[in-house]
């Protein structure tokens, strides 16, 4: 049973999607539609922009969504996949390919989300860190200890794979958590090059802004189960999908749990659609024997 998976922010690269544009009429049509909907030439930035251009959240998130969904459609994954999931931003790509969102509606929501997150980042000194080589429960304890002792927000943000958990919170809280994790035996504890605390309570202003966008968007029942980040469970019904999309901005991404649940539900291969192969690597860390592939 084929599961299609979609990457999140950080997978972008210069030239992303260019081959699709050159080889597929459908891709060209959707790229041109994206430029019109966004009101700027995102295609030019994707194909020929600078790394700095692609690092801007207002560009990064729509670019990854556009590349991921177009790659899936061109390769027929909307017809062959039996289940779908996406990491953070990638959840919107999964919902588009599963038919819960039109391509245009998904892109519009992603643009709203990206701009709202950037504004939320500007409101507080915040960041994220990857904690490697610790059990999830031990990292959760580190977060709780820092919150209790310093009163700073520090929470689990991305359960990426066994032994890799990203935490999110205030700059002061994350710095303290890195030190405590190292004391408690983490193999590595590294602050990430981000300017915000994604998937934490500090994203609440962005969640409120996204809520209005979701309310004004037509969301349908999905044609295949989408394993959403907030629950790590399969969802098809539009109302459940809406609720979980809202929760997602301030809740942790349960990627490890989602992969395990898809395997339990019969997934026999995973195909990553879009830029990079990060998720394929994370799937292998959950089950080294499971076949993975990628399309871009």
Based on the number of CB atoms within 10 Å of its own CB, is 272 exposed (0-12), middle (13-18) or buried (19 or more)?
A: buried
How far, in Å, CA of 270 to CA of 55, rounded?
A: 27
Count of other CB atoms within 10 angstroms of residue 277: 17
The reported pLDDT for the residue numbered 57 is 86
For the domain made up of 125-191, the CATH class stated in words is: alpha beta
- Every domain of the chain with CATH number 3.40.366.10 lies at 2-121+201-295
Residue pLDDT, tens place only, 69-87: 999 999 999 999 999 999 9
pLDDT digits (tens, 9 = 90+) for 141-184: 999 999 999 999 999 999 999 999 999 999 999 999 999 999 99
Rounded distance, CA 201 to CA 156, Å?
11
Over residues 43-66, the mean pLDDT reads 93
In CATH, what number does 2-121+201-295 get? 3.40.366.10
Q: What is the mean pLDDT of the chain?
A: 96
Which pLDDT score is estimated for 163?
95
Sheet holding 226-227, edge to edge: 234-235, 226-227, 83-86, 2-6, 269-273, 292-295
Would you please indicate which residues are annotated as catalytic (active-site) residues?
Answer: 88, 199
3-state secondary structure the chain: CEEEEECCCCCCCCCCCHHHHHHCHHHHHHHHHHHHHHCCCHHHHHHHCCHHHHHCHHHHHHHHHHHHHHHHHHCCHHHHCCEEEECCCHHHHHHHHCCCCCHHHHHHHHHHHHHHHHHHHHHCCEEEEEEECCCHHHHHHHHHHHHHHHCCCEEEEEEEECCEEEEEEEHHHHHHHHHHHHHCCCCEEEECCCCCCCCCHHHHHHHHHHHHHHHCCCCCCCCCCEECCCCCCEECCHHHHHHHHHHHCCCCECHHHHHHHHHHCCCCEEEEECCCCHHHHHHHHHCCCCCEEEEC
Give the CA radius of gyration of the chain: 18
| Residue 56 banded pLDDT, cuts 50, 70, 90 | confident
Q: Categorize the per-residue pLDDT at 224 as very low, low, confident or very high, splitting at 50, 70 and 90.
A: very high
Q: Where in the chain is the domain with CATH 3.30.70.250?
A: 125-191
């Amino acid at each position: 049973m084929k599961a299609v998976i979609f990457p999140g922010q950080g997978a972008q690269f210069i030239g992303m999607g260019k081959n699709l544009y050159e080889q597929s009429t459908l891709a060209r049509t959707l790229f041109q539609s994206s430029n019109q909907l966004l009101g700027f030439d995102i295609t030019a930035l994707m194909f020929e922009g600078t790394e700095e251009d692609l690092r801007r959240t207002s560009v990064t998130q729509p670019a990854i969504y556009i590349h991921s969904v177009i790659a899936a459609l061109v390769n027929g994954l909307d017809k062959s996949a039996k289940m779908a999931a996406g990491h953070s931003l990638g959840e919107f790509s999964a919902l588009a390919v599963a038919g819960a969102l039109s391509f245009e509606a998904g892109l519009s929501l992603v643009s709203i989300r990206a701009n709202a997150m950037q504004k939320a980042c500007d409101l507080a000194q915040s960041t994220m860190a990857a904690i490697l080589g610790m059990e999830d429960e031990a990292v959760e304890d580190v977060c709780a200890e820092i919150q209790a002792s310093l009163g700073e927000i520090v929470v689990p943000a991305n359960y990426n794979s066994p032994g890799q958990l990203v935490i999110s919170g205030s700059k002061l809280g994350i710095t303290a958590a890195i030190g405590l994790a190292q004391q408690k035996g983490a193999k590595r504890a590294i602050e990430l090059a981000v300017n915000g605390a994604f998937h934490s309570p500090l994203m609440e202003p962005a969640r409120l802004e996204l809520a209005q966008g979701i309310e004004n968007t037509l969301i349908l029942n999905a044609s295949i189960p989408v394993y959403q980040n907030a629950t790590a469970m399969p969802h098809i019904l539009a109302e459940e999908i809406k609720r979980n999309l809202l929760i997602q901005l301030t809740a942790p991404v349960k990627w490890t749990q989602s992969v395990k649940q898809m395997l339990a539900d019969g997934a026999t291969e995973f195909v990553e659609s879009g830029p990079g192969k990060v998720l394929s690597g994370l799937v292998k860390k959950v089950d080294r024997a499971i076949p993975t592939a990628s399309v871009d």
